[in-house]
């Protein structure tokens, strides 16, 4: 994986902007600590930072072929197939890295080439003859890509912070941006980046910039089709797709490990990876995360019915992995809230972010690539809101059904159109759902829930995983995001997907003979959070900075009295801020992250 950025401008001479280009490159350093490169002309600058995973000795970027120059961030999982097709067309290859394949595929098939790629990627191809730029992002949105067009400049980057190194791009947040933070956050509307002048290139889209004009096109969408498979056929098909996706993502020229929580998804990945390693005479390394004294303070809930620690040793022993349990200090998790918010570029996922950042830094000490089980819950119906009828048919985001908590921390009258903003965001998403004629109300709603989860909840988790891992110079792959698997799961009838009345029922059935039964039928449990009061105490100490700083714009946005009441009585919060992952400690941490973000990014508000 890598970090990329670029600037096109007819109004300034980029050859004279070396300090700015150096700052942009420096801002991408953690995404690519192994190598750096630039392509600079009077009107164009392409910037690349490399984390070498495939063909470390070669494959430096920017890479040029003929009239085209590419900067690329990602991994392809069908590299060999595309390379073979190009060889048959007369192309020759100097490396075995996927960058060269993407570049020469573009030379051959132009924008159509992106439709052939199976992987996680964001890249830009510059045409030196007509001064146009093509940028594209993978179908699911695993790899980030932001862009801005202001004052005669077009710029793109892997990070928001990189774009803000350009003086013409100001860190301005208007009312829409504040609604993103307070009404929708830590989620954000697809395509939005909170800052007024910065946009996110949507997943499954490409953009062409030419003659100061932008054209954006969607190259892939989820379409409904009828699945007539029997239970046995669907189970076999699911097994094949999952296994093929995982095995494709085990290719690496550097050390690779897996994240193992003791849940179904990470156990499937680790089992398949371990089998492959054993066939090569190697032992797979697996990693889990926990917190100091967390067993003492764990409280069972609907969303978190059991602890990961009860299951990790069981699955590790079953697959024969060399397991490492990383135990994080609770105060350190709180202190890392600032680093994680700054890395993300917008207020984030509280300790769900900061703990992952610390975890990834520990894993990076020994490994460069990991596989993780994100996104199986979104596509196979793993969350409680898929299964609770009192939630399922509500016309709202199921993880943020009420704005009461959000309103309680804001001063009266602030963001008066917030609920309308939230409702419109929900409606726009549901309207994009593809149905089959004659489907039942349940099947139609399950398709809507799939789209809601894919475009919102899953994007929040993917952004978290990319930013926190790449901030640690660690590449994390997510096999359940293979677009073939997503397409298939979207069209599985609910009776098959929830086989035997269980969340992810078909996935459980597909691997029931390869994993311990306790793992196969374990009830869904989310990413582990700290329950230790030491963490909450430290979070409250940090948040006091925001509550006392009258010079910060955040002070006038908050209902200080209600925030302090929440700090004094966290159990009074009965409705989660964001699904199962954000309750009172996380809400206070989120307020602190907003404060840090405003200070570090020198945010300007246009209200």
Alpha-carbon dihedral 347, 348, 354, 360, rounded to 10 degrees: -120
Name the DSSP class of 582. Answer: B
Asked if 241 and 497 count as a contact pair (C-beta separation under 8 A), the reply is: no
Rounded Cα distance between 142 and 276, Å, is: 25
Does the annotation mark 375 as catalytic?
no
Q: Are 386 and 503 in contact (CB under 8 A)?
A: yes
CA-based nearest residue to 206, from 289, 114, 342, 292: 114
CB 52 within 8 A of CB 254: yes
Q: Which tokens hold the place of 375?
A: 């996104």
**Per-residue DSSP letters for 155-199?**
EEESSHHHHTTSTTS--EEEHHHHHIIIIITTS--TTB-SSTT-E
The two beta strands, 475-477 and 153-157, are unpaired
DSSP 411: P
Contact (Cβ atoms closer than 8 angstroms) between residue 29 and residue 15: no
Helix axes 98-109, 79-88, angle to 10 degrees: 50
CA 122 to chain CA mean position, Å: 13
Q: How far apart are the first and last CA of the chain?
A: 38
> Which residues, listed in sequence order, are joined to residue 285 by a DSSP beta bridge?
322
**How far, in Å, are 236, 239, 246, 247, 306 from residue 242 at the CA level?**
10, 5, 6, 9, 26
User: Which residue among 2, 360, 375, 552 is the active-site one?
Assistant: 2
- Which two three-digit tokens encode residue 514? 């390869």
Q: Is the dihedral of CA 352, 354, 357, 361 positive or negative?
A: negative
Residues 452, 391: contact at Cβ < 8 Å? Answer: no
* Nearest Cα to Cα of residue 14 among 44, 48, 47, 39: 44
Q: Are 471 and 356 in contact (CB under 8 A)?
A: no
Q: Could you write out the DSSP letters of every residue in 488-518?
A: HHHTS-HHHHTGGG-TTHHHHHHTTTTS-HH
The catalytic site residues sit at 2
């Amino acid at each position: 994986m890598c970090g990329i950025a670029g600037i096109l401008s007819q109004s300034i001479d980029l050859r004279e902007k070396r300090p700015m280009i150096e700052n942009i490159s420096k801002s991408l350093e953690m995404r690519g600590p192994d190598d750096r490169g630039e392509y600079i002309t009077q009107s164009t600058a392409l910037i690349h930072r490399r984390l070498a995973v495939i063909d470390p000795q070669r494959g430096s970027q920017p890479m040029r072929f003929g009239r085209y120059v590419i900067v690329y961030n990602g991994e392809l999982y069908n590299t060999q197939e595309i390379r073979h097709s190009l060889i048959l067309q007369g192309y020759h290859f100097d490396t075995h890295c996927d960058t060269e394949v993407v570049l020469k595929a573009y030379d051959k098939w132009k924008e159509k080439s992106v439709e052939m790629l199976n992987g996680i990627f964001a890249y830009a191809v510059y045409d030196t003859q007509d001064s146009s730029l093509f940028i594209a992002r993978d179908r699911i949105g695993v790899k980030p890509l932001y862009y801005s067009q202001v004052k005669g400049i077009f710029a793109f980057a892997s990070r928001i912070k990189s774009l803000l190194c350009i003086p013409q791009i100001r860190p301005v947040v208007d009312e829409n941006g504040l609604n993103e933070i307070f009404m929708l956050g830590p989620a954000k509307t697809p395509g939005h980046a909170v800052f007024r002048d910065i946009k996110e290139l949507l997943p499954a889209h490409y953009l062409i910039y030419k003659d100061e004009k932008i054209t954006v096109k969607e190259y892939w969408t989820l379409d409904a089709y009828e699945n007539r498979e029997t239970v046995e056929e669907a189970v076999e098909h699911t097994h094949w797709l999952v296994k093929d996706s995982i095995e494709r993502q085990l290719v690496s020229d550097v050390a690779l490990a897996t994240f193992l929580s003791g849940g179904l998804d990470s156990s499937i990945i680790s089992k398949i990876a371990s089998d492959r390693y054993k066939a090569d005479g190697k032992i797979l390394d697996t990693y889990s995360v926990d917190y100091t004294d967390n067993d003492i303070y764990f409280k069972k809930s609907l969303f978190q019915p059991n602890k990961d620690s009860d299951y990790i040793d069981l699955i590790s022993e079953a697959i024969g992995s060399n397991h490492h349990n990383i135990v994080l200090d609770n105060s350190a998790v709180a202190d890392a809230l600032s680093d994680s918010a700054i890395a993300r570029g917008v207020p984030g996922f509280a300790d769900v972010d900061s703990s992952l950042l610390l975890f990834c830094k520990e894993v990076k000490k020994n490994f460069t690539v990991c596989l993780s089980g994100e996104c199986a819950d979104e596509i196979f119906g793993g969350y409680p809101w898929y299964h609770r009828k009192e939630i399922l048919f509500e016309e709202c985001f199921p993880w943020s059904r009420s704005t009461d908590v959000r309103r309680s921390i804001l001063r009266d009258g602030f963001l008066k159109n917030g609920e309308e903003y939230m409702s419109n965001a929900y409606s726009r998403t549901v309207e994009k759902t593809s149905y089959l004629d004659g489907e039942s109300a349940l099947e139609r709603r399950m398709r809507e829930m799939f789209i809601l989860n894919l475009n919102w909840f899953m994007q929040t988790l993917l952004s978290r995983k990319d930013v926190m891992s790449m901030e640690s110079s660690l590449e994390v792959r997510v096999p359940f995001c293979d677009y073939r698997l997503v397409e298939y799961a979207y069209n599985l009838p609910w009776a098959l997907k929830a086989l035997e009345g269980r969340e992810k029922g078909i996935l459980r059935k597909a691997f029931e003979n390869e994993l311990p039964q306790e793992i196969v039928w374990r009830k869904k449990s989310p990413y582990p959070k700290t329950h230790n009061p030491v963490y909450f105490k430290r979070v409250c100490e940090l948040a006091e900075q925001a509550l006392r700083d009258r010079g910060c714009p955040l002070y006038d946005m908050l209902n200080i009295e209600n925030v302090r009441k929440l700090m004094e009585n966290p159990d009074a919060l009965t409705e989660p801020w964001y699904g199962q992952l954000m309750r009172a400690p996380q809400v206070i941490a989120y307020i602190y992250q907003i404060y840090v973000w405003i200070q570090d990014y020198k945010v300007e508000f246009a209200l």
